[in-house]
Each structure stands twice: as C-alpha cells, then as structure tokens.
Amino acid sequence: MMKPLAYPFQPKSTALLVPGQFWPIELKSGRFACGRVLQVADRYGKRHSRMFFGGLMDWTDDAPPTSERLAGRRLGRVGQMHIKTITHSGAEIAGCRELAKDGIVLPAMLSGSPEDPNCALVCGLDIVGLPSGEQRTPLETISTWGSGVLNILAEERFGTSTS
C-alpha cells in the first residue's frame, strides 16, 4: 500500500504523478499561471518514466494555485510533456484536485496531420481508433512540448510587461 503523497514535492519521474496534480508557473510579471497533470503515459502495461499529458489551466492569479483557486476553471492548451516541464524552473507539484470536479475531460485529438491516412484518433495519449473524415478537420493534432514550452504559452496567454 502506497502512503499518501505529501505536497509540495519535486518529481524526478512520473512515478508519483496522478491526474489532477498541479504546479505553479511563475510569470515574469510576478503573477502565476498553472500547469496540470492530465494523464500519465501508459504503453503496453508500463508507465513511461518521463512523459505525461498535461495542460495549461485557463487561470492566473497574484498567488500560486491551490485546489480552491482552481475550482471551476477550465483547461487552456494541452500537450504531451516531459517531466522537466515541471522541474526546469524549480517548480514543484503543489497539490491535487480531481479533474472531474471541474468537468475536465481529455480532449479528442489527432495523432498526426489530418491529411495522413494513418493518423489515429486519440483521447489524451490513448489511441481510440481511426478518425472519420468529418473528425479530421476540426480536431487539433497532439503535440509534444519541450521543457520550456508551457512557460512560453503561459507568458503569451497571461504575461504582462512590467517595464
């Protein structure tokens, strides 16, 4: 039996990640945005030690995120991420809030270009089938983000110049 997690903690792998966990993203303005664990990659019965599916919450505040501050907030951008997305700026997993409490579900996306006949329909990182012709056009293609991309997206969405 695994003992309950103590927050905050800085993950070294995905071993302790669970959907709903969140971490602060400090913006240049001094405000905060929030990253969220949505799914941990599990292929062929084995957890990927470094990759997970996560997102940027549609949230910003003068104080770091808490479960209460995130209540009712929606997802912004989503992508596949490396564990360094959390740790590269010294951030720690600050807590966990069940995704279902806020109606957050994994989005349907494409695994590749809509023109590629071999692209799959995915829900988070799970392949769920082949997309129909009507599904190909409106769906986004899942992307893999480098360790600093989420911070860049947060600055683009919420950052304000302090000069």
Task: Tell me the residue range of the domain where 38 lies.
Answer: 21-104+144-158
Is residue 53 situated within a structural domain? yes
Q: How far is CA 89 from CA 30, 100, 134, 150, in A?
A: 14, 28, 41, 11
User: How many domains, the chain?
Assistant: 1
- Is the model more confident about 139 or about 18? 18
The pLDDT assigned to 25 comes to: 95
Contact 98, 20 (CB under 8 A): yes
Is residue 34 situated within a structural domain? yes
Q: Is the pLDDT of residue 163 over 50?
A: no
The pLDDT assigned to 149 comes to: 93
Predicted confidence band of residue 40 (pLDDT cuts 50, 70, 90): very high
Is residue 129 situated within a structural domain? no
The pLDDT assigned to 3 comes to: 64
The pLDDT assigned to 19 comes to: 96
Predicted confidence band of residue 44 (pLDDT cuts 50, 70, 90): low
Output the pTM of the full model.
0.90
Q: Which residues pair with 39 in a beta bridge?
A: 53
Is residue 15 situated within a structural domain? no
How far is Cα 18 from Cα 155, in angstroms, rounded to an integer?
Answer: 25
The pLDDT assigned to 62 comes to: 96
- Is the model more confident about 2 or about 12? 12
Q: Is the pLDDT of residue 162 over 50?
A: no
Q: Which amino acid makes up residue 59? A: W
Is the torsion defined by CA of 78, 80, 86, 88 positive or negative? negative
Predicted confidence band of residue 26 (pLDDT cuts 50, 70, 90): very high
Q: Is the pLDDT of residue 161 over 50?
A: no
Model confidence pLDDT, tens digit, residues 115-154 = 888 889 999 888 888 888 777 778 888 888 988 999 999 9
Out of 7-11, 62-66, 118-122, least confident range: 118-122
Q: Is 84 helix (H, G, I), strand (E, B) or coil?
A: helix
